[in-house]
Amino acid sequence: MTDALLSVRGIEKRFGGLVALAGVSMEVPKGLVYGLIGPNGSGKTTLFNVVSGFMRQDAGTVAFEGRDIGRASPHRVARLGLCRTFQATACPTRMTVMENMLLAPQDQLGEGFVNLVARPRGVSRQERAFRARARDLLAIVNLAGKADEYAGSLSGGQKKLLALAQILMADPKLILLDEPVAGVNPVLAEEIAAVIRKLRDEGRNFLIVEHNMHFIRSSCDRISVLDAGRIIAEGEPAEVLAREEVLRAYLAGPAARPAA
């Protein structure tokens, strides 16, 4: 076994007659920001859904830290340390930013009644620690002043930042970000890229789906290109994005390409 953090082998997924993933294999090594790009409909989000347990593949295996997670439920996958965000920002809107942050940690004493009744001090000590960490993370993403606002009142870009901070609060080993800067203004996008690079240097691992090539270039160490359900290229962003087949995949529709 390699020391790949996430290893995907021969994933196939069909929706009726539509082949969304036609045998995808890729490895995400430790210590990198790994990008997954591809034109609309190439299967990126479907792959995310399969990896994170929200969808079941028709064939193929998914291994996280050498452990098979191909049939695990979403909450099991998350508890193993692989957490994801969503393309459509979905942080609960009728909870404050701080409540959203405090929602994220796993193994909360206060989620069980035995602890709530038998160890109230332990629960409040843990809550204090979570709150302190949430404040630090909110400061990193420039949301410290919004802690008591409803998440629903944030701008689109701020919601993306909240989703990022929330996922960090869960302290996962691998973070899957689904379009973290879609609809975000360029200045904020660059800030998000900087935050991600900083977190990588602190030892976090990322797998990112994104359409913004500028963002991909500035934040990813390595990328894979998905087209029509297959990986067609892999390598360093600058080199891969210059390849002819990648350009063709993006510029021409699937119909204009030679049959895959």
Partner 1 sequence: MTGFVDFLVYLLTIAGIWAMLSLSLNVQFGLAGLVDLGHVAFFMLGAYVSTILVVLNGWDITFGILAGGGAAAAFGVLMALPTARLQQDYWAISTLAVAEILRIFFLNTSLDGPNVGQALGVSGIPRPLRDWFNAEGYSNAAYGWFYLGLVMACLLATLVFCIWLSRTPFARTLKALREDDAVPLALGKRVSFFRIRAMAIGGAIGGLAGGLFAHYNAFIEPEYFRPIETFLIWAMVILGGAGNMFGSLVGTFLVMALYNSSRFVPGWLENLFGWTINGQVYGSLRLIVIGIIIILVILYLPNGLLPERRRRSAP
Q: For residues 121 and 33, what is the distance between their CA atoms, to the nearest angstrom?
A: 39
202 binds partner 1 (CB under 8 A): no
Helices marked H in the chain: 44-51, 74-79, 97-103, 113-118, 120-140, 156-169, 186-201, 213-219, 237-241, 244-251
Q: For residues 71 and 203, what is the distance between their CA atoms, to the nearest angstrom?
A: 28
* CB of 19 or CB of 144, closer to partner 1: 144
Query: Running DSSP on this structure, what letter comes out for residue 254?
Result: G
Choice from 3, 10, 15, 90 touching partner 1 (CB under 8 A): 90
Binding mask 153-192 for partner 1 (x = CB under 8 A): -------------xx--x----------------------
Min dist. Cβ of residue 158 to partner 1 (A): 16
Q: For residues 43 and 21, what is the distance between their CA atoms, to the nearest angstrom?
A: 6
> How are the residues of the chain apportioned to helix, strand and coil, as percentages rounded to the nearest 5?
40, 25, 35
Total binding residues for partner 1 by CB under 8 A?
42
Min dist. Cβ of residue 84 to partner 1 (A): 5
96 binds partner 1 (CB under 8 A): yes
Q: For residues 64 and 94, what is the distance between their CA atoms, to the nearest angstrom?
A: 33
Choice from 10, 15, 59, 111 touching partner 1 (CB under 8 A): 111
Strand-strand pairing, 59-64 and 230-235: unpaired
Min dist. Cβ of residue 82 to partner 1 (A): 10
* CB of 106 or CB of 218, closer to partner 1: 106
Largest interatomic CA distance in the chain: 66
114 binds partner 1 (CB under 8 A): no
In whole angstroms, what separates CA 133 from the centre of its chain? Answer: 21
Strand-strand pairing, 6-15 and 174-178: unpaired
Min dist. Cβ of residue 180 to partner 1 (A): 14
Min dist. Cβ of residue 6 to partner 1 (A): 16
* CB of 148 or CB of 202, closer to partner 1: 148
Of residues 228-247, those binding partner 1 (CB under 8 A): none
Q: Catalog residues that contact partner 1 under the rule CB under 8 A.
A: 52, 54, 73-76, 78-79, 83-86, 90-96, 98-100, 102-104, 106, 108-113, 116, 123, 127, 131, 147-148, 150, 166-167, 170
